[in-house]
Structure 1
Amino acid sequence: MMSFTAPLARRRPAEPGPRAGRLWPAVAAASALALLAGCMGGPSGNAQVPEPAKPVEISRYAGLWYEQARYEARFQEGCEGVTAEYTLRSDGQVNVVNTCREGAPDGPVKVAEGRAVPAGDGLGAKFKVTFFGPALFENYWVLDRGEAYDWAIVGEGSGRFLWLLTREAEISPAAFERLRTRAAELGYDVSMLRRTQQPPVPDPGQE
Structure 2
Amino acid sequence: MRSLPLLAGACLLGLLSACATPVDDPLAPSTAGNVDLKRYQGKWFELARLPMRFQDACVQSEAHYNLKPDGSLDVLNRCRTLGDEWLRVEGHADPQSAGHNDKLWVEFDNGLSRLLPGLTRADYWILYVDERYRTALVGSPDRKYLWILSRTASVPAWEREHLLAKARQQGYDTKRLVWRTADRDIAMMH
| TM-score (ref. length: structure 2) | 0.81
With 83-92 and 114-123 compared, the bigger mean Cα shift is at 114-123
**Is it true that 1:157 corresponds to 2:141 in the alignment?**
yes
Cα pair 1:114 1:131 within 8 Å, conserved: yes
The letter for the 1-side match of 2:42 is G
In the alignment, structure 2 segments of 5+ residues that lack a partner are 18-25, 185-190
Give matches, 1:55-94, under 5 Å. 55-94=34-73
CA distance in 2, matches of 1:195, 1:34: 20
Aligned match of 1:23: 3
Aligned match of 1:49: 28
Instruction: Give deviations 1:116-138, integer Å, cap 9, x for gaps.
Output: 11111654201101113323211
CA distance in 1, matches of 2:82, 2:28: 31
Instruction: Give deviations 1:143-174, integer Å, cap 9, x for gaps.
Output: 11101111110001111000000111121222
Structure 2 SS opposite 1:53: coil
Aligned match of 1:101: 80
**Is it true that 1:128 corresponds to 2:105 in the alignment?**
yes
The letter for the 2-side match of 1:168 is T
Identity of aligned residues (%): 34
Question: How much does 1:103 deviate?
Answer: 2.4
**Is it true that 1:117 corresponds to 2:91 in the alignment?**
no
With 119-128 and 162-171 compared, the bigger mean Cα shift is at 119-128
Bigger fraction of residues in helix: 2
**Residue in structure 1 matching 2:165, options 181, 185, 202:** 181
Bigger fraction of residues in strand: 2
In the alignment, structure 1 segments of 5+ residues that lack a partner are 1-18, 40-46, 201-207
Structure 1 SS opposite 2:97: coil
Instruction: Give deviations 1:6-44, integer Å, cap 9, x for gaps.
Output: xxxxxxxxxxxxx7xx5212x2221112334x39xxxxx
Q: Flag the 1:83–1:60 CA change in 2: closer, same or farther, 3 A.
A: same
The letter for the 2-side match of 1:124 is N
Give matches, 1:31-42, under 5 Å. 31-36=10-15, 38=16
CA distance in 2, matches of 1:196, 1:151: 15
CA distance in 1, matches of 2:107, 2:138: 16
Cα pair 2:143 2:171 within 8 Å, conserved: no
Cα pair 2:45 2:62 within 8 Å, conserved: yes
CA distance in 2, matches of 1:192, 1:122: 34
CA distance in 2, matches of 1:146, 1:98: 22
Aligned CA RMSD, in angstroms, stands at 2.1
Structure 1 runs (4+) deviating above 3 angstroms are none
Question: How much does 1:198 deviate?
Answer: 4.1
Structure 1 SS opposite 2:178: strand
Question: How much does 1:194 deviate?
Answer: 1.5
Question: How much does 1:188 deviate?
Answer: 1.4
